[in-house]
Amino acid sequence: MSDHRDMHRAHRLGGLLSREPGVVATGVEVLASALADQAVPVEAVDWRPPPPGTESALAAVLGDPGHAEANARAVQRMVTARPHLVDVRPARDVLGLEPGTFLHAGPPLEWDRASGPMRGALVGAMLLEGLAETPRGAERRLERGAAVFEPCHHHAAVGPMAGVVSPSMWMLVVEDAEHGGTSYCSLNEGLGKVLRYGAYGPEVIERLAWMGEVLGPALREAVRRHGPIDLMALIAQALQMGDELHNRNRAATSLLLRELAPALAAAEEVPRARAAEALRFAAGNDHFFLNAGMAAAKACADAARGVPGSSLVVAMARNGTDFGIQVSGTGDRWFTGPAGVPDGLYLGGYGPDDANPDIGDSAITETAGMGGFALAAAPAIVRFVGGEVPDAVAATQRMYEITLAEHPVLQIPLLSFRGTPVGVDVARVVRTGILPVIDTGIAGREAGTGQVGAGLVEPPANVFTDALHALAETA
């Protein structure tokens, strides 16, 4: 009986013989024009050959009968995650971080290969934790292997730029109300000379100490009093207010403060002077929300991990030396290549020669369909990242070619409220040669310099072909 029904369905060929013909034409142009000459609707594909040697890996991955379903499931989990900010706690408590252990951005890294800003941030963290008296002393201890480094990503955490987390730093705690995951990100220090850009001067360490003493506890009380804050709802609103949630967080910061300020004012545990300091600090930093957005993006991306056969990218991260990605179907394995130098605008007298290669876990925003992928939503910053409004629209539109879905919640007014492109597919990146566009800050290459600019950067292409070959082996 069911056989009969199946047979019947099979005969209909998706309406091939009954509907008005419409054709997607991929390849030789004369065949597409022959259709156009017959007034048949034809969508011509601007096809280019994938890199030599990828044919059989592509066939193995895409020919795996469960592949399309695996990708659909993985990206569905990514876009249905509902990250909420639920708490703020020190890393030593919430991540169990021991003294002398530090987290860092990007894929795994040893001191010997660490870049200037990464070394600078680690030096600063040593000073903050009281593990060294002077920068030189900190550096010598680090050279001798006195500290343990691990990627933030190995602890469900993310950190912007150098992404260095030490036990006394306070972390935003974000829980996914849909799939149950938890993710973490440190608190944002502001712009200029800050630890995440590799600066470790006295003002940097003083600020970090204040953040641990005043800001962290104040935020904890505010968040606990407020109750879970729906970050996706906040991000969706900010996106319609001109943020892309990576290089522009002005609207999101304002929206978050609007939620937290009344709760902070009402928190009896926080002295009025400290509450005022905390609010003034947060309000004075347009990037205050970035870290919350990153933790939210991390929760979304982690929800999509571990789907066998899926070619969905679940992490893009840089440590200042390597650019690494992780893929849903290949577990915790990193695929790495040399981090590129961003293309962008420089502050003051700095120029490209001062720039460090790409650094930071903040590409988690692009991984989850924000940042560079949502550039069309943020016309206010396109010049800052080097271009005009049409370039921003084109960048977002290009990302639809390599992503698996359009975000159901994050919408772009300029594109008639089309969802942002979300869920980078390794196979599509390899096939098209289109690389993810990533917004980024630019750190100075010398330890201690701080930020020198901001712009756009692309991952090295090999990380995607390497991931494809690894997936092909599992297929």
Residues 394-423 that bind another protein (CB under 8 A): 394, 397-398, 400-401, 414
What three-state secondary structure class fits 206?
helix
Which residue, 22 or 331, is less far from another protein as judged by CB? 22
Considering the rule CB under 8 A, would residue 63 count as an interface residue with another protein?
yes
From the list 1, 2, 4, 16, which residue makes contact with another protein (rule: CB under 8 A)? Answer: 16
* Shortest separation between residue 15's beta carbon and another protein, angstroms: 6
> Could you tell me which residues come within 8 angstroms of residue 360 by beta carbon, excluding any fewer than 6 positions away?
105, 106, 159, 160, 161, 162, 163, 196, 317, 318, 440, 441
Nearer to another protein, 61 or 127 (CB): 61
Could you give the string, one character per residue 185-224, with x where binding to another protein holds by CB under 8 A and - elsewhere?
A: ----------------------------------------
Which residues in 298-357 contact another protein (CB under 8 A)? none
CA distance 274 to 447: 32
Check binding of 47 to another protein (CB under 8 A): yes
Encoding tokens for residue 84?
């909420």
The answer to the question of residue 18 lying near another protein (CB under 8 A) is yes
Please, which residue, 214 or 405, has the CB nearer to another protein?
Answer: 405
Question: Is residue 426 within the footprint of another protein (CB under 8 A)?
Answer: no
- CA–CA distance, 230 with 360 (Å, rounded to integer): 25
Strand, helix or coil for residue 344 = strand
DSSP secondary structure letter of residue 436: P
Number of chain positions touching another protein (CB under 8 A): 65
Structure tokens at 212: 């641990």
Q: Which two tokens stand for residue 59?
A: 């066939």
Q: Between residues 6 and 473, which has the closer beta carbon with respect to another protein?
A: 6
Nearest alpha carbon to residue 85 among 201, 184, 189: 184
Note whether 35 binds another protein by CB under 8 A: yes
Q: How far apart are CB 420 and another protein at their closest, in Å?
A: 15
Burial of 248 (0-12, 13-18, 19+ CB in 10 A): buried
Residue 39 or 273 having the CB closest to another protein: 39
Q: What is the DSSP letter of 289?
A: T
Give the one residue of 150, 343, 354, 391 binding another protein; rule: CB under 8 A: 391
Nearest to 314 by CA among 245, 376, 363, 371: 363
Does 5 participate in binding another protein (rule CB under 8 A)? Answer: no
Question: Which one, 47 or 338, has the nearer CB to another protein?
Answer: 47
Sole window of 97-105, 136-144, 250-258, 383-391 interacting with another protein (rule: CB under 8 A)? 383-391
C-beta atoms surrounding 340 within 10 Å: 17
Give the residue, chosen from 3, 4, 8, 349, that forms a contact with another protein under the rule CB under 8 A.
8
Q: How far is the CB of 36 from another protein (least distance, A)?
A: 10
Candidates 220, 305, 407, 431; binder of another protein (CB under 8 A) is 431
User: Do 347 and 410 meet the contact criterion of CB atoms below 8 Å apart?
Assistant: no
Nearest to 459 by CA among 302, 314, 336: 336
When asked if residue 3 is in the footprint of another protein (CB under 8 A), the reply is no
CA torsion, ordered 119, 125, 128, 129, to nearest 10 deg: -130
- Residue 232 or 472: which CB sits closer to another protein? 472
Instruction: Using CB under 8 A, pick the residue from 1, 4, 49, 268 that binds another protein.
Output: 49
> Which residues, in sequence order, are CB contacts of 447 under 8 Å at separation 6+?
116, 117, 119, 120, 123, 198, 200
Query: Considering the rule CB under 8 A, would residue 66 count as an interface residue with another protein?
Result: no
Instruction: Give the residues lining the site for another protein (CB under 8 A).
Output: 6-32, 34-35, 37-38, 40-41, 43-52, 55, 58-59, 62-63, 65, 68, 389-391, 393-394, 397-398, 400-401, 414, 427-428, 431-432, 434
